[in-house]
Chains A and B, each alone.
Chain A
Amino acid sequence: MQERHSLRGEAITKELLRPLTQTPMVFWIAVIILGGVLSAFAFAVGWMFYWGLGTTGLNTPIFWGFMITNFVFWIGISHAGVMISAILRLTQAEWRRPVTRAAEVMTIFSLMTAMLFPFLHTGRPWRTVYWVFPYDFERGVWPDPRGPLVWDPAAVFTYLTGSTLFLYTTLIPDMALLRDRSTGWRKTLYTILALGWRGNERQWKLQLVAGILLSALILPVFVSVHSIVSWDFAVSLIPVWHASIFAPYFVIGAVHSGVSAVITLMALMRWLFGFHNYLREEHFDAIGRLLVVVATGWIWFFLLDIIFAMFTRDPRELEVMYMRIFEWPYAMLLAFVFVFAYIIPVPVWMFRKYRRNIKVMFWTSLMVNVGMWAERYWLILPGLERKFEFTFMWSWYRPSIVELTLVFGSFALVTFLLLMFSKIFPPVAVWEEKEGVNFAQDIQVGKRTVHATIREE
């Protein structure tokens, strides 16, 4: 599958750098709206810090609510970048070129947003310094590395560092490109970030080797991050949480939601920046096909989790499972999960006609993430509500307006950061597009001209 545009050299540069130089009206409208939501977000955060966690719906024994659900959700979204970028680089898929940069950036901003939430959820984030340093200097009481809550920051920090370095390494040639055609503060910024890149053979060779090597290194980290997030839950003995499948189940769910988010982002970039020549129907088609496999794998894991929770016939497991399947609001959430994350999108993606319809792909990808957010909530909350055996210790959770604002704010934050990024850095890797042109060839088979590529090992 190799459709092509006919652009060459400077024409590619001009088109791909357009977001940096031209700002359509819709961009400003988006910034104003997002700014409004972010102000509400900042106010909600301030309000919660001032009045304490009593402003949320958290209550004994439910101390993980919307904020932790949102944390898990954004960690999931962050998996898209590596999934697309690293795997496609390793498999030398040609269609990766216009997709990788945006996906990598989304990884970083989603991770940063995700990391915000455990801090916010403590209610007094400045005290989290105890997680790193001895919390009793006299006796030298250190954080316990045997606890999963210490593994989690270690994994997320590794992933964030690795993803940022990965992105930066692939940005260097484009920084040189911008250095040579900018003035003022931009020139200073790009000159610093380009590190004196001249584009000689050795530098290009290492750039290509680094792409492969960093991809191979970051893939195991990407798998470990969501696995470790899942172990925050699974190593406890809370009903329906103590399941061995949680790690791969969380990872595949993350890939499902993350790759869907990449489709949403690609459609928005095409619409906002006019990248019709680069983000083509073939890209939506290819990702749609990938998602059919990922979504089907996810539903298999989902069913295994349910079946083996009931397998033991343990009364507590059955009680929570009953609540998750038959009681309000979890029954409705379960329907949301199934319908939005599988039953509607997957049959649609089975048809090439719809995979190549960008509007259909945009809406179905959004739908998946509505379903996947519901799935995270559905996984986390019911076990906590029935954490204890005695019925008088059961509880219910209702999110407050503060928590709702924080969740909506997180979406605004990621979108806002992505928009700001596109004003300073090219959202599609210019040099990778040009590399694709340099390597493009044709093969004549009878009357048909087949698009081909020069293969390097």
Chain B
Amino acid sequence: MSSHGHSVPRVWSLSPREIATDGTRRIRELGSLYRLGIIIAAVLAVVGVISLIAGPLLQGYSDRSVWTYVTAVFFFLMSTVAAAPCLSVALRLARGHWRRPVNRVAEIWAAALIVPAILFFVLQGAHPSSADRNSIWMGWPASPWLWSSIMMIALVVCGYAFLYISARPDFAILRDQVDSNPNGFFARMAGPWRGTLKQWAVHDRALSLVGVFYIMLFIGMMTIIASDFIIGMVPGYHSSIFPVYWVVTSFQAAIALTLVTSAVLRKFGGAEKYLELDQFWGLSKMLLAFGLLWFYFWWSEFIITWYGRMPYEVNFLKFMFFETYLWLFVMVIGFCFLTPLFGLMWNFIRRSYMGPTIVGSLVLVGNLADRIRLASMGTTVDDIYAHYFLEVPDTHFPGVFDVLLTVGFIGAAVGVVLVAMRFIAVPSIWEVTGGIWLRAQRQYKKAEVIVIGKPE
């Protein structure tokens, strides 16, 4: 702490060599806790796969409600794993310095994109055609299967490309410091990277372009999912704001996921020098803002429906919020809006490690509850071809396989990320190093101040 209350993060006093050594050490020395994490994740993944096969096998594949929790976990992973790289892109575009160690923490989740992609393709088999029902595809041939699958593949490919481009300079460092075998993994991934000015310029441009493209694909894909899996499946529900709610709440979950991951990496990942109060403070401000946006988008939909008072709208409100899924909804509004608002409105909580981590964890729980609610709505209405329903459907409760499946696939996603951390430095070495040139601690008359440079 300087003499006037500015906390000076330790990372800015490190030399490039220290940062590189630290990064390579994190790759080399993976402790017993890491191995235990991998084993648990693998067991959960197996349990998830077994539940995915066993549940529908026992209940019958044609029963749409058997896919409720497959859909829910798919929704949750799209809202967290697939949304997290968007946070990394947005922070890079905003060009703040505090975000440098955070970027990789967010984008490493792109490694787990394969898990929601598998669930998506499983769900495609159970998805009805868009013909003769409300759908954004308006009866296009082979819709929704072909077109949404193309989008999903594009998203996954783009996500992996983004992670690879971002990690390439770090692969070169690891090639030179960890594994000098010319045919080794790091050498193959780094390719001819030497860090010339031209290579850096191309890298910078490619990272921005692929990142922006990823965000656009993500928003497009989420719009399709919102329409195909929820709006189009609930008669009478034609809310144009829902895709936006869907995307914005996914960004909220992505911030929460990044916060929780940062806390775990601080505690167990040896990243305490990099993920400091500055990073938690920055992320918690964003989480607070997105908590308010959560309410805004929910309220904008609610007030229109409440005020319209058409019979189908009244029934719809009962179904969604006030009768069928009341308790899930209470949980969602409590964890996704009230907790960030009343927890993070205080600066001393925002500026701590524990506060944002707890709020972030609760937001993730709230997001999962929200996705379960929405998946239950989308998969349990009997007549999806009706224009609206005049009787409010019943609540759908999970079975044992549903719970195992949910835990299993979330564990699988975590497991993939753990494996990825064996090969990709988290936080990034090159990005943190790039920041130390542009920050300085100086004496300004009687004050010790932090100076931040922005080259462009």
Q: Interface 1/0s, chain A 244-283, versus B by CB < 8 A?
A: 1111100000000000000000000000000000000000
A455 with B304: in contact, given A1-B456, A248-B244, A311-B238 (CB under 8 Å)? no
Residues on the B chain within 8 Å of A300, using CB: 219
Query: Number of B residues contacting the other chain (C-beta, 8 Å)?
Result: 46
Question: In chain B, residues 262-317, which have Cβ atoms closer than 8 Å to a Cβ of chain A?
Answer: 292, 296-297, 300-301, 303-305, 307-308, 310
Q: Tell me, yes or no, whether A188 is within 8 Å of chain B by CB.
A: no
CB distance from A358 to the nearest CB of B (A): 19
Q: Tell me, yes or no, whether A365 is within 8 Å of chain B by CB.
A: no
Most B CB within 10 A of own CB, among A220, A310, A452: A452
Query: When the two chains form their complex, are residues B244 and A307 in contact, meaning their CB atoms are under 8 A apart?
Result: no
Q: How far is the CA of A137 from the CA of B133 in the complex (A)?
A: 54
A1 with B454: in contact, given A231-B304, A244-B300 (CB under 8 Å)? yes
Closest to A304 in B: B240
Q: Tell me, yes or no, whether A186 is within 8 Å of chain B by CB.
A: no
Q: How far is the CA of A456 from the CA of B6 in the complex (A)?
A: 8
Query: When the two chains form their complex, are residues B304 and A244 in contact, meaning their CB atoms are under 8 A apart?
Result: yes
Query: When the two chains form their complex, are residues B451 and A248 in contact, meaning their CB atoms are under 8 A apart?
Result: no
Residues on the A chain within 8 Å of B257, using CB: none
Query: When the two chains form their complex, are residues B304 and A235 in contact, meaning their CB atoms are under 8 A apart?
Result: yes
Q: How far is the CA of A452 from the CA of B243 in the complex (A)?
A: 40
Most A CB within 10 A of own CB, among B134, B138, B241, B449: B241
Q: How far is the CA of A456 from the CA of B439 in the complex (A)?
A: 13
- The dominant DSSP class at the A interface is mixed
Residues on the A chain within 8 Å of B308, using CB: 235, 237, 242
Q: How far is the CA of A313 from the CA of B341 in the complex (A)?
A: 39
Most B CB within 10 A of own CB, among A223, A311, A448: A311
Closest to A309 in B: B240
CB distance from A280 to the nearest CB of B (A): 14
CB distance from A152 to the nearest CB of B (A): 14
Indicate which residue in A235, A304, A311, A441 contacts B442 across the interface (CB closer than 8 Å). Answer: A441
Closest to A252 in B: B244
Q: Tell me, yes or no, whether A301 is within 8 Å of chain B by CB.
A: yes
Query: When the two chains form their complex, are residues B454 and A244 in contact, meaning their CB atoms are under 8 A apart?
Result: no
Query: When the two chains form their complex, are residues B304 and A454 in contact, meaning their CB atoms are under 8 A apart?
Result: no
Query: When the two chains form their complex, are residues B241 and A248 in contact, meaning their CB atoms are under 8 A apart?
Result: yes
Closest to A220 in B: B292
Closest to A306 in B: B240
Query: When the two chains form their complex, are residues A451 and B453 in contact, meaning their CB atoms are under 8 A apart?
Result: yes
Indicate which residue in B135, B138, B296, B454 contacts A450 across the interface (CB closer than 8 Å). Answer: B454
Closest to A305 in B: B240
CB distance from B436 to the nearest CB of A (A): 10
Closest to B248 in A: A248
CB distance from A314 to the nearest CB of B (A): 8
Query: When the two chains form their complex, are residues A441 and B240 in contact, meaning their CB atoms are under 8 A apart?
Result: no
Q: How far is the CA of A310 from the CA of B305 in the complex (A)?
A: 18
Q: How far is the CA of A436 from the CA of B138 in the complex (A)?
A: 55
CB distance from A230 to the nearest CB of B (A): 9
Query: When the two chains form their complex, are residues A457 and B238 in contact, meaning their CB atoms are under 8 A apart?
Result: no
Query: When the two chains form their complex, are residues B450 and A244 in contact, meaning their CB atoms are under 8 A apart?
Result: no
Q: How far is the CA of A313 from the CA of B238 in the complex (A)?
A: 10
CB distance from A225 to the nearest CB of B (A): 13
Query: When the two chains form their complex, are residues A455 and B244 in contact, meaning their CB atoms are under 8 A apart?
Result: no
Query: When the two chains form their complex, are residues A223 and B296 in contact, meaning their CB atoms are under 8 A apart?
Result: yes
Residues on the A chain within 8 Å of B304, using CB: 231, 234-235, 242-244, 246
A307 with B240: in contact, given A248-B296, A300-B219 (CB under 8 Å)? yes
Query: When the two chains form their complex, are residues B454 and A2 in contact, meaning their CB atoms are under 8 A apart?
Result: yes
CB distance from A374 to the nearest CB of B (A): 21
A455 with B134: in contact, given A234-B304, A308-B239 (CB under 8 Å)? no
A453 with B451: in contact, given A248-B296, A300-B219 (CB under 8 Å)? yes
Q: How far is the CA of A2 from the CA of B455 in the complex (A)?
A: 8
Q: Tell me, yes or no, whether B43 is within 8 Å of chain A by CB.
A: no
Query: When the two chains form their complex, are residues B438 and A311 in contact, meaning their CB atoms are under 8 A apart?
Result: no
Most B CB within 10 A of own CB, among A443, A448, A453: A443
Query: When the two chains form their complex, are residues A227 and B300 in contact, meaning their CB atoms are under 8 A apart?
Result: yes
A-B contact pairs, 6 of them (CB 8 A): A244-B242, A245-B244, A247-B300, A308-B136, A311-B135, A456-B6
Q: Which residues of A contact B (CB under 8 A)?
A: 1-2, 91, 94, 220, 223, 227, 231, 234-235, 237, 242-248, 300-301, 304-305, 307-313, 441-443, 445, 448, 450-457
Q: Which residues of B contact A (CB under 8 A)?
A: 5-6, 94, 96, 134-136, 138, 219, 223, 227, 231-232, 238-244, 292, 296-297, 300-301, 303-305, 307-308, 310, 387, 437-440, 442, 444, 449-456
Q: Considering the complex of A and B, which 8 residue pairs feature the smallest CB-CB distances, nearest first? A: A308-B240, A452-B453, A245-B240, A450-B453, A235-B307, A244-B241, A443-B453, A247-B300
- Beyond the given A247-B241, A248-B297, could you list 5 further A-B residue pairs with CB under 8 A, ordered by the A residue number? A237-B310, A441-B440, A443-B453, A451-B454, A454-B449
